[in-house]
Copies of this chain bind each other. A is one copy, B any other.
Amino acid sequence: MIEHRAEEYIRLAMAAAETAAQRGNAPFGAIIVDPNGAVVATAYHRVKEMLDPSAHAEITAIRTLCQERRTTSLEGFRLYVNKEPCPMCCICMIEAKLAALYYGDSDEASVPCYIPAEEIARRARGHRLRVYGGILATETIRQREQLSRQYGL
């Protein structure tokens, strides 16, 4: 069951995606929410800015929050992102023991190696990441098209 604030959180991830685009990065944004529903991390795609191929929005959010909390475990936390994460980011979520992933649309063409987040979660052992896709998908697609035109991405 998708909890009722999922759309609100996806909109925050979309706002982070806009920040990414404004700074010349790919238009992806992620937020992390604690077990009480408080937003505790906001991050955007920073590969170009940081010269770091791993600095996708999701990994940047996880890394920042772990360092802030002095932990490598984010048990009970949930991640929201405007587009289905690539396998690199999905595995990082599993490494960090996040409880759940919520995403907007799926765009196979945007990643160099597409493996569905559901498949990654299903093949993982030891930790179960719950996956919910398609949240506000029409809006997340439309926003990226608009950002790509506006910022020539």
Q: How large is the interface on A (under 10, 10 to 19, 20 to 34, 35 or more residues)?
A: 20 to 34
Complex: A48 Cα to B71 Cα, angstroms? 8
Does B87 lie within 8 Å of A72, measured CB to CB? Answer: no
Report which of B54, B63, B115, B127 forms a contact with A115, defined as CB distance below 8 A: B115
Question: In the complex, which residues of chain B have a beta carbon less than 8 angstroms from the beta carbon of A87?
Answer: 87-88, 91, 115, 120
Question: In the complex, which residues of chain B have a beta carbon less than 8 angstroms from the beta carbon of A70?
Answer: 51
Q: In A41-97, which residues have CB < 8 Å from any B CB? A: 47-48, 50-54, 59, 62-63, 66-67, 70-72, 86-89, 91-92, 94-96
- Residues in A lying within 8 Å of B, measured CB to CB: 47-48, 50-54, 59, 62-63, 66-67, 70-72, 86-89, 91-92, 94-96, 112-115, 120, 123-127
22 contacts between A and B (CB under 8 A): A47-B72, A52-B63, A52-B67, A52-B72, A53-B62, A53-B63, A53-B66, A53-B95, A54-B59, A54-B95, A87-B87, A87-B91, A87-B115, A87-B120, A88-B89, A88-B95, A91-B91, A91-B112, A91-B113, A112-B126, A113-B123, A115-B120
